[in-house]
């Protein structure tokens, strides 16, 4: 991925509502959820983001000299999640990718690889320098509904299948760092 084409940005519980709303708008344009769905609910986004261990990583496409702030083109929303049954690495806690998506015209440029790698760095910083091992990351997906995500995950052997859930959903965990080209 060209470092110059995209600018990396972050949102946290301290971020302005208008910026959170712009990422929610991108998410809605990708997932087209029912208006009453929790995925489309600004209050739900704010609630999940209110945890200091939650974060949204997003990318904007640099647009020359324009004075208008460029819109986000990719995002990843992660929040802390507890697992009633320990994961394969023994952990019961993870930073869980709740939602992630890339605008159609920006796919296949390494945006998701970049955002996952940044999330690993963020989690490592949160844990402090004394813990050098991989932080635990998880994600759920529905292969039949999100084939591009499933293909992406299966192409990366660092993502291990944890378990199959109801409704064709699967839970995966990350066991190692991505190798970004
Ligand atoms: C799934 C999704 C997030 C993947 O995002 P993405 O940014 O296109 O993914 P990446 O670019 O990181 O990886 C896609 C491919 O581009 C390739 N790529 C990486 N850098 C590249 C570059 N600079 N130029 C061209 N291709 C590149 C990668 O090698 C990868 O191919 P591979 O899987 O065959 O190895 C995106 O397809 C999407 O938004 N889908 C709809 C929403 C969705 O399914 N969300 C997940 C729900 S659980």
H or E element, residue 163: strand 159-164
Q: Which CATH architecture has domain 6-174?
A: 3-Layer(aba) Sandwich (3.40)
Domain boundaries, the chain: 6-174
Residue 97 Cβ < 6 Å to ligand 1: no
Instruction: Look at residue 165 in the predicted model and tell me its pLDDT.
Output: 96
Ligand 1 geometric centre to CA of 153 (Å)? 10
Q: Which atom of ligand 1 is nearest to the CA of 146?
A: 44
Where the chain has pLDDT below 50, the residues are 181
- Our answer on whether the CB atom of 27 is closer than 6 Å to any ligand 1 atom is no
- Of 44, 21, 42, 24, residue with least CA distance to 32: 24
DSSP, collapsed to helix, strand or coil, labels residue 32 as coil
The answer to whether the predicted template modeling score (pTM) of the entire model surpasses 0.85 is yes
pLDDT digits (tens, 9 = 90+) for 81-91: 999 999 999 99
H helix count then E strand count, the chain: 4, 7
pLDDT score for 69:
78
């Amino acid at each position: 991925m060209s470092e110059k084409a995209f600018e990396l940005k972050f949102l946290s519980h301290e971020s302005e509502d208008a910026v959170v709303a712009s990422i929610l708008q991108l998410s809605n344009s990708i997932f087209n959820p029912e208006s009453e769905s929790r995925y489309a609910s600004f209050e739900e986004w704010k609630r999940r983001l209110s945890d200091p261990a939650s974060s949204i990583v997003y990318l904007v496409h640099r647009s020359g000299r324009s004075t208008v702030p460029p819109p986000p083109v990719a995002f990843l929303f992660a929040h802390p999640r507890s697992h009633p049954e320990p994961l394969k690495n023994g952990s019961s806690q993870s930073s869980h990718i709740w939602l992630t998506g890339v605008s159609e015209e920006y796919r296949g440029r390494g945006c998701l690889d970049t955002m996952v790698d940044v999330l690993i760095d963020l989690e490592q910083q949160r844990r402090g320098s004394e813990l050098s091992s991989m932080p635990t990351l998880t994600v759920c997906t529905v292969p039949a509904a999100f084939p591009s995500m499933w293909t992406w995950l299966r192409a990366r052997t660092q993502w291990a299948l944890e378990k199959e859930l109801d409704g064709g959903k699967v839970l995966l965990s990350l066991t190692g760092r991505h190798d970004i080209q």
